[in-house]
Structure 1
Amino acid sequence: MSTTERPRILVVGGGYVGLYAAKRIMKKMRYGEATVTVVDPRSYMTYQPFLPEVAAGSISPRHVVVPLRRVLPKAEVLTGRVTSIDQDRKVAVVTPLVGEAYELPFDYLVIALGAVSRTFPIPGLAEQGIGMKGVEEGIGLRNHVLEQLDKAESTTDENVRRKALTFVFVGGGFAGAETIGEVEDMARDAAKYYSTIKREDMRFILVDAADKILPEVGPKLGTWGKEHLESRGIEIYLSTSMDSCVDGHVVLKNGLEVDSNTIVWTAGVKPNPVLARYGLPLGPRGHVDAQPTLQVTGTDYIWTAGDNAQVPDIASRKAGVENAWCPPNAQHALRQAKVLGDNVISGMRGFPQAEYSHSNKGAVAGLGLHKGVAMIVMGKTKIKLKGRLAWYMHRGYHGMAMPTWNRKIRVFADWTLAMFLKREVVSLGALETPREEFYEAAKPAPAPAAAAAPAAKAKA
């Protein structure tokens, strides 16, 4: 970390909003006008809409993450967490990955922490659940699912086999529906290489407390998505929830009980809990309360946007929707980050702030290879697509929304190669414990019993 007498713009969080806001600020500000400092526990930004395809092996995990230092070469990038903020002194406490915490003064502040998985105190969930918020979880889920097929192939115990081949997904929004669609596709392909496993031996279950899935694309496309997944043998239980999953024994509120080694939790997100320590005004669900200018309510030097912010949806309110708030999706995050960056520069220079307003352009979702749903909004017209064409729309939109041309090209290259080459179905589960084999080889071998006996006798 460098010291500077220039004003410091502190960006807390290096996700979609943090990355794009910092990039916008550095593009707009004059040379030497300020120091931009980005603090995040990871040195990269993850494009979360591609995590289901990472779990299915359609995209290389390295291609859905963007290294912050490469994209922001003129910014300070600190790997750590901002654990508290003193607004009176304008000082943040940064806890690095190693070493003691320290204070970091700032003049302007951007809160872009994003969201974390929304969980409930369900017995067994913390021990058994797999989330889908980070690229590590996407890689882990892929390796885990393929490892279950390996286990089922190598055992003669029917109970062990059944538990390995049962996959439970909780949450029917974009993350849940897309992930189960992609993973089922991958498992179906992988089963071709196992002599004793067929798709019929696997059981995929999707659970949601709501009465529909994919609410973001509307009721008709949501119904089509449900029927499509069911046509592929996926069981869908709506208006129900999971009561417990201790040791993989899943109990649903509707009375269904199954044993499963794979419980994927995608039942929504919530703002990062650390926001409560920043002394900022929070909404009823823990979001930072923001004005249409993306300034935190009651301040003129703090801005926020994205999943951790409660931003008024001006476009919807003008259309007659009362108390409308911007939903937490990449469509809003990208556009908010640009307005936020411009407003930070305007605030530094004493210019007026611009309000954020964006009309919903629709939503797209992929449900596996060549399968998807899409709702495109053009003015007052809604175009609804399903199947292969919607899948092309999904890939095209997110492919172009992927930050940096470097990553766009790599993602499209992955997709292009997949047209000519078969899907990789190799489990690399040992990635989670890479030192285990070396440790076993390096630890001292126990003394042979024959050699130990004389020594013990001589001592006596």
Structure 2
Amino acid sequence: MATKTVRTRAKPMLATDVVVVGAGYAGCYAIAGLRRARVDVVAVDPTGTMDMLPRLAAVAGHADAATDAAIELTKLFPHLKIVRGKMKRFRKGVVTTEAGHRVRGRVTIITAGAQPTEPTIAGLANAFQLRTAADALRLRAAVGEAEDVVIVGGGATGVQLAGALSNSGVANAILVDSASRLLPEFHESLGSHAKDLLSARGVRIELDAAVESIQPNGVVLEDGTELIGLPVWAGGFRATMDAFKVGPTTEGRLNIGDDLRVEGTKDVLAAGDAAAHLDSKGNLRPMAAQTAVQAGSGAAKNAVRMLRGQPTASVAMRDLGWVVDLTGGRGVAQVGPFRFATSGLDRIPPYLHDFIDAKTLYEVGGVKAVKRYSPGRQTTPPEGLDLEFLQHYLG
């Protein structure tokens, strides 16, 4: 019996000046810059929200409201055209999502593309993650029913989560890292003072402690020690741009020129986690919000230049410093040569954290955004994160 081939009709193509893939910090700064230049832009993003990354640990740890985790893009950018979905492939200027939606731009800015690192640790899938607003809300729900939380990773995310949990008191925190100190990426004084603050709050800290496996109910160290509690992975993330074959990559991040143009392309820019941003010594910059906002703004300016047939410009990156807010009015920070990592000075970082949050809102959405979406101002969860099983925990 002959078989009949049924062909499905391709979804209509949406055309625009610039396609922005991803609506994190780099993506939203790019969108804001493009809209100020009155350029037609379409955003491709799975949730249609801007995840407020510096707030996520406090949200997950019940120190801040669940509604602080993200902001709907259409509230920040009225009338913005959004295609909800993840990019599946990119070919000849066309972004195709997993659902088959297609968007063609004269210029494309790629900003999305990171997932948890995959070390040789058995059972990593058993751990909760903390990278997106959805991750924070899922973790918040689980933490509400846990007695102990085992956090693997003593970098900024892990330290902030431990601080939030110890401040809210919703669960006991156990912080584990294979390094000899907390915050190993920063000056030693920041990690030392963060350890003192967390220890004083009752956080159990295990350093020089390599993890052998992660179980559904805890973590097993290489020396056989079992740490029982809700497992959370805060051990870092990696870029995932190799699969899309947009251009050559370094450690999964797209190689770019000084103008953020992807190597080997004419009309594709990359910024944020998707891009291999280099420092003055030629080393990869860490995936961080401060890099994302500078790159997103620079990508928007160069996209406009490309549309107008003008030469692109180099995008300079500055090291703006680091702020780690432990909630409860304490934290550690370094801004230029100044370190805030002693008793008394540790009261300053939370104010710096709030200032950076307000600055981000202002630069993306103006004064209205600051008034409406500063922490504690939103009363309902963003539509893209309105998950049924979380409703009991929101608010």
TM-score exceeds 0.5:
yes
What is aligned with 2:167? 185
Deviation (angstroms), 1:346: 0.6
CA contact under 8 A between 1:217 and 1:362: conserved in structure 2? Answer: no
What is aligned with 2:117? 118
CA contact under 8 A between 1:217 and 1:374: conserved in structure 2? Answer: no
Distance of aligned partners of 1:413 and 1:384 in 2 relative to their CA distance in 1, 3 Å threshold: closer
What is aligned with 2:70? 65
Aligned to 1:38, what secondary structure does the other structure show? strand
Aligned to 1:107, what secondary structure does the other structure show? strand
What is aligned with 2:19? 10
Deviation (angstroms), 1:186: 1.0
Q: TM-score, normalised by structure 1?
A: 0.73
Task: Pick the aligned partner of 1:277 from 244, 254, 257.
Answer: 244
What is aligned with 1:40? 45
CA contact under 8 A between 2:241 and 2:254: conserved in structure 1? Answer: no
CA contact under 8 A between 1:66 and 1:407: conserved in structure 2? Answer: no
The answer to whether 1:93 aligns with 2:99 is: no
d(CA) in 2 for partners of 1:168, 1:354: 46
CA contact under 8 A between 1:374 and 1:394: conserved in structure 2? Answer: no
Deviations 1:352-395 (A, max 9, x none): 21111132121111113111001111xxx334344222222222
Deviation (angstroms), 1:143: 2.8
Distance of aligned partners of 1:411 and 1:93 in 2 relative to their CA distance in 1, 3 Å threshold: closer
d(CA) in 1 for partners of 2:133, 2:183: 22
What is aligned with 2:381? none
CA contact under 8 A between 1:217 and 1:364: conserved in structure 2? Answer: no
Tell me the amino acid that sits aligned with residue 72 of structure 1.
F
CA contact under 8 A between 1:123 and 1:243: conserved in structure 2? Answer: yes
d(CA) in 1 for partners of 2:71, 2:331: 26
* Number of aligned residue pairs: 368
CA contact under 8 A between 2:113 and 2:241: conserved in structure 1? Answer: no
Deviations 1:112-151 (A, max 9, x none): 114222233533331x311111222222323322323xxx
Aligned to 2:36, what secondary structure does the other structure show? helix
The 5-angstrom pairing of residues 336-351 of structure 1 reads: 336-351=295-310
Aligned to 1:10, what secondary structure does the other structure show? strand
Distance of aligned partners of 1:51 and 1:247 in 2 relative to their CA distance in 1, 3 Å threshold: closer
The answer to whether 1:359 aligns with 2:318 is: yes
What is aligned with 1:49? 54
d(CA) in 1 for partners of 2:353, 2:27: 24
CA contact under 8 A between 1:119 and 1:267: conserved in structure 2? Answer: no
Task: Pick the aligned partner of 2:353 from 377, 380, 394.
Answer: 394
Deviation (angstroms), 1:312: 2.4
Distance of aligned partners of 1:346 and 1:369 in 2 relative to their CA distance in 1, 3 Å threshold: same
Aligned to 2:219, what secondary structure does the other structure show? strand
CA contact under 8 A between 1:63 and 1:410: conserved in structure 2? Answer: no
d(CA) in 2 for partners of 1:433, 1:364: 30
Deviation (angstroms), 1:84: 0.8
The answer to whether 1:236 aligns with 2:205 is: yes
- Aligned-residue Cα RMSD (Å) equals 2.7
The answer to whether 1:136 aligns with 2:134 is: yes
CA contact under 8 A between 2:261 and 2:268: conserved in structure 1? Answer: yes
The 5-angstrom pairing of residues 18-417 of structure 1 reads: 18-29=27-38, 35-87=40-92, 90-96=93-99, 101-120=100-119, 122-126=121-125, 128-148=126-146, 165-187=147-169, 190=170, 203-260=172-229, 262-271=230-239, 273=240, 275-283=242-250, 285-313=251-279, 317=280, 322-377=281-336, 381-385=337-341, 386-402=345-361, 403-404=364-365, 405-410=367-372, 412=374, 414=376
CA contact under 8 A between 2:216 and 2:231: conserved in structure 1? Answer: no
Bigger shift: residues 303-312 or 402-411: 402-411
Tell me the amino acid that sits aligned with residue 284 of structure 2.
W
CA contact under 8 A between 1:293 and 1:356: conserved in structure 2? Answer: yes
Aligned to 1:354, what secondary structure does the other structure show? coil
d(CA) in 2 for partners of 1:410, 1:106: 32
Deviation (angstroms), 1:308: 1.7
Distance of aligned partners of 1:362 and 1:279 in 2 relative to their CA distance in 1, 3 Å threshold: closer
Tell me the amino acid that sits aligned with residue 206 of structure 1.
L
Structure 1 alignment gaps of length 5 or more: 149-164, 191-201, 416-429, 436-460
Deviation (angstroms), 1:407: 4.5
d(CA) in 1 for partners of 2:69, 2:218: 33
Deviation (angstroms), 1:59: 3.1
CA contact under 8 A between 2:63 and 2:165: conserved in structure 1? Answer: no
The 5-angstrom pairing of residues 431-450 of structure 1 reads: 432=389
Distance of aligned partners of 1:227 and 1:58 in 2 relative to their CA distance in 1, 3 Å threshold: closer
d(CA) in 1 for partners of 2:346, 2:43: 41
Aligned to 1:414, what secondary structure does the other structure show? coil
Tell me the amino acid that sits aligned with residue 34 of structure 2.
I
CA contact under 8 A between 2:176 and 2:205: conserved in structure 1? Answer: yes
Deviations 1:134-173 (A, max 9, x none): 222222323322323xxxxxxxxxxxxxxxx332100111
CA contact under 8 A between 2:154 and 2:176: conserved in structure 1? Answer: yes
